[in-house]
Amino acid sequence: MFNKTITLANGVVVPQLALGTWLIDNNKAAEAVRAAVKTGYRHIDTAQAYMNEEGVGEGIRTCGVPREKLFITTKAAAEHKDYESAMAGIEGSLQALGLDYIDMMIIHSPQPWVKVNQSDDRYFEGNLEAWRALTDAYKAGKIRAIGVSNFLKEDIENIWNNAEVKPMVNQVLCHISNTPLELIEYCQNKGIVMEAYSPIAHGEALKNAKIAEMAEKYGVSVPQLCIRYDIQLGMIVLPKTADPAHMKTNGDVDFVISDEDMETLKNIEHIKDYGEHGFFPVFGGKM
């Protein structure tokens, strides 16, 4: 899977399988990045909120693979809802990562984290200001592609209808038993590439007997089935691990799930531990 790519609306090519680094400590991030790159990963996903950009950057600079062969995504803090703080955050990420440019940067959430699932305010004006900062950095060549994360249809439309540069990706919680099919279709119809974080449902998929049964049918592990499921939905997929063995098996997903089995998996009973919209864990996950 490491050589599979997806092309964004602006022509930028993105490796479809990425290493997610949420909850990987800053002092362990460099080692995880080096291990991932050695395994074959060329796309690394981090965020300002993860507090590990410095370690991720160190791993990128010391992994032995030229910078231009790697794709680095980071996320603008959900709290940055004005131009100045968003632009300062962009500069801060460049400095923390120690890179001349970032391949992709996305707004982490339409709402500040403390407001997620707690407020009806979608911060339309604030998101337009944050988007303006990303757009200016994009035009300046500091970022090669820009997008959003955890945005619902109304949040996408706010930017789509009011901004010159359109979102290129939307990164959302997506896994077997929690698949936002309408949102995926809506975004893909606009040419917005979808990205799936937490493809193994924060480990909850490992407890599901129906998922396990399907994995056994294909002779693969539950995580492999879950990752392949998102790939076949046409998404960039971001399994998170610091374990080199898991990095390797997470990339060994070249089998194909049949159309019939994909429909079965789309309709597995929804995990009820997530928020009302299905894209944020209630506990405030910052994927």
The set of catalytic residues is: 50
Q: Measured between alpha carbons, how far is 74 from 147 in angstroms, rounded to an integer?
A: 10
Whether 78 and 113 have beta carbons less than 8 Å apart is answered as yes
Characterize the bridge pairing of strands 5-7 and 13-15: antiparallel
Whether 196 and 226 have beta carbons less than 8 Å apart is answered as no
In eight-state DSSP terms, residue 269 is P
| Residue whose structure tokens are 């944020």 | 280
Q: Measured between alpha carbons, how far is 194 from 163 in angstroms, rounded to an integer?
A: 19
Q: Which two tokens stand for residue 4?
A: 């599979």
Whether 113 and 286 have beta carbons less than 8 Å apart is answered as yes
Contacts of 10 (CB under 8 A, 6+ apart): 145, 168
